Amino acid sequence: MQGNEKVIPLHELPFGQPAVVMALQVPGPIRRRLLDLGLVPGTRVKAVLRSPSGDPVAFSVRGTVIALRDSEGRSILVRPLA
């Protein structure tokens, strides 16, 4: 990764902005669940829907839509795409 690439937690990704998963910073069963959902490094993601309360947020991942809580999004590092 180059020094000019900005990496942010997924929960900070602006709505509609595509990004690439860089890392998962969570251990154990939650990590396994996120990997099973397709959130592996190199995968493109984009926030597509937000619940009325703002949490959870639905993300487009590998041709499907998954909902993640803010707490889960904090543990997923992404690089926004231009």
pLDDT band at 4 (very low <50, low <70, confident <90, very high): low
53 pLDDT exceeds 90?
A: no
pLDDT of residue 1: 46
pLDDT of residue 49: 87
Domains and CATH numbers, the chain: 8-80 (2.30.30.90)
Measured CA distances, 8 to 5, 59, 74 (Å): 10, 16, 9
pLDDT of residue 66: 93
- The per-residue pLDDT for range 8-49, each reduced to its tens digit, is 999 999 889 999 999 999 888 989 999 998 999 999 999 998
